[in-house]
Amino acid sequence: KIYFSCVFFQNSKSAQGLVGLKNLGNTCFMNSILQCLSNTQSLRDYCLHNSHRRDLNNNSRTNTALMEEFAKLIQIMWTSTSSEAVSPSEFKTQIQRYAPRFVGYNQQDAQEFLRFLLDGLHNEVNRVTVRPRGTMEDFDHLPDEEKGKKMWSKYLEREDSKIVDVFVGQLKSSLTCSHCVLTHTLWFLSLFVCFKGYGEVSLMDCMRLFTKEDVLDGDEKPTCYRCKARRRCTKKFTIQKFPKILVLHLKRFSEARRTSKLSTFVNFPMKDLDLREFASENSTNAVYNLYAVSNHSGTTMGGHYTAYCRNPSSGEWYTFNDSRVTPMSSSQVRSSDAYVLFYELATSSRM
Ligand SMILES: *[C@@H]1O[C@H](CO)[C@@H](O)[C@H](O)[C@H]1NC(C)=O
Ligand SMILES: *[C@@H]1O[C@H](CO)[C@@H](O)[C@H](O)[C@H]1NC(C)=O
Ligand SMILES: *[C@@H]1O[C@H](CO)[C@@H](O)[C@H](O)[C@H]1NC(C)=O
Ligand SMILES: *[C@@H]1O[C@H](CO)[C@@H](O)[C@H](O)[C@H]1NC(C)=O
């Protein structure tokens, strides 16, 4: 304890943001994610500079309290001169209002929480206040690259916020019908790449598994939109647009009732995660560095979440265990308990 307060004292000027969050009763899943987001520099600065105020949707139909409480919390975490842990209870009230599943004090899934939180924040600071009427434009005649750009700008006509700027990328899913020999290209956006590994695997293996060409046959045969018949198809994912922040969810819990946890050691790099081989087109800008991890230890029912984050100011790594914040060595970051990984595109990196 004395050691920790010493560290705080010495670093209070050079490295802020080292403020713990009180556990309100099984809220470590929330605290872990909040610390990862607090160390996401562009999102932190958006809150610290009050830029979110400009974007708040003031029409009476939209509640803006979630973004406001989130920003308030980040501001306290980065301006507090005391090492006293902060209570996120006002924030919790707002996330409960937005997503009633977080009412109460049950252990929750950190990755689901992150998804709901980003979605909620996005809705309150969406720069689009009146969404255009959905028209189905046909981009099929366009070359793939152009089609991708068109789909992206269509998306921005409806969903355009700081959250999108930072976290959203574009995946390309190509479906090739065996009959038409046409590539039916679907475009969609995803915050998460989810996968399941067996034994010890590398993150690159997981990515290769996720993006490998799949044959859809038998019961899985999709209906080709061209020939209107169910056909054997091949499906393949590539990344069309790389997000600034790439959040990777290492899928450790089985879909069915989440009773079993896979403790596969996923070997992931701290630096230079090079995803260029997954790009739809030659891309030079697809190298990522790790800056935060949500760690889940224990079993599904009785687990505990912590976060390891690299402080954007000092570059040092810290463990955030609810109200406790302690320095850690970067060599401890990689473990079989890593659950959600936060990577930052190297060119937008601060270091
Ligand atoms: C919403 O209100 C705030 C504070 O009253 C103001 O600063 C901001 O410009 C308004 N935002 C929009 C999008 O009108
Ligand atoms: C991508 O790069 C490879 C190797 O540098 C090159 O052979 C290929 O023609 C490039 N493709 C495109 C679409 O630019
Ligand atoms: C992450 O979780 C594991 C499993 O319980 C634990 O042993 C380890 O100490 C945690 N790491 C940190 C740095 O808190
Ligand atoms: C987190 O703090 C609790 C309570 O002090 C402690 O029992 C636990 O070992 C810590 N966990 C990690 C991973 O540091």
Segment 285-295 shows an average pLDDT of 93
Q: Quick one: pLDDT at residue 229?
A: 83
Tokens 């899928």, located at residue: 251
* Short-list 144, 165, 184, CA closest to 279: 144
pTM of the model: 0.85
Q: Quick one: pLDDT at residue 109?
A: 85
Q: Quick one: pLDDT at residue 260?
A: 58
pLDDT in tens, 6-52: 333 334 444 689 999 999 998 999 999 999 999 999 999 999 999 99
How far apart (Å, rounded) are the C-alpha atoms in residues 233 and 242? 26
Q: Whole-angstrom distance between the N-terminal and C-terminal Cα of the chain? A: 31
How far apart (Å, rounded) are the C-alpha atoms in residues 287 and 312? 18
21-25, 29-33, 234-238, 253-257: least confidently modelled range:
253-257
Whose CA is closest to atom 4 on ligand 4? 321
What's the CA dihedral at 111, 113, 118, 119 to 10 degrees? 110
Is residue 30 within 8 Å of 113, Cβ to Cβ?
yes
| Choice from 270, 306, 309 to test ligand 3 binding pocket (greatest atom count within 8 A of CB) | 306
pLDDT in tens, 114-153: 989 999 999 999 999 888 887 667 777 788 788 888 888 8
Name the CATH superfamily for 27-128+144-345. Answer: Cysteine proteinases (3.90.70.10)
Question: Catalytic pick from 28, 177, 206, 233?
Answer: 28
Structure tokens at 113: 């929480």
pLDDT in tens, 59-73: 656 689 999 999 999
The reply to whether 28 belongs to the active site is: yes
Segment 196-219 shows an average pLDDT of 78
Tokens 């993006």, located at residue: 211
1-10, 84-93, 206-215, 263-272: least confidently modelled range:
1-10
Segment 272-277 shows an average pLDDT of 92
- State the distance from the centre of ligand 1 to the C-alpha of 333, rounded, in angstroms: 41
Is residue 284 within 8 Å of 244, Cβ to Cβ?
no
Is residue 272 within 8 Å of 214, Cβ to Cβ?
no
Backbone angles phi, psi at 185, to 5 degrees: -105, 125
Tokens 């859809």, located at residue: 216
> Who lines ligand 1 at CB under 6 A?
53-54, 56, 58
Structure tokens at 218: 């038998």
At residue 315's C-alpha, the angle toward residues 29 and 274, to 5°, is 80
260: number of CA atoms within 13 Å, CB side?
Answer: 6
Q: Quick one: pLDDT at residue 207?
A: 81
| Choice from 282, 283, 284, 285 to test ligand 2 binding pocket (greatest atom count within 8 A of CB) | 282
Residue spans of the domains in the chain: they are: 27-128+144-345
101-110, 279-288, 307-316, 341-350: least confidently modelled range:
341-350
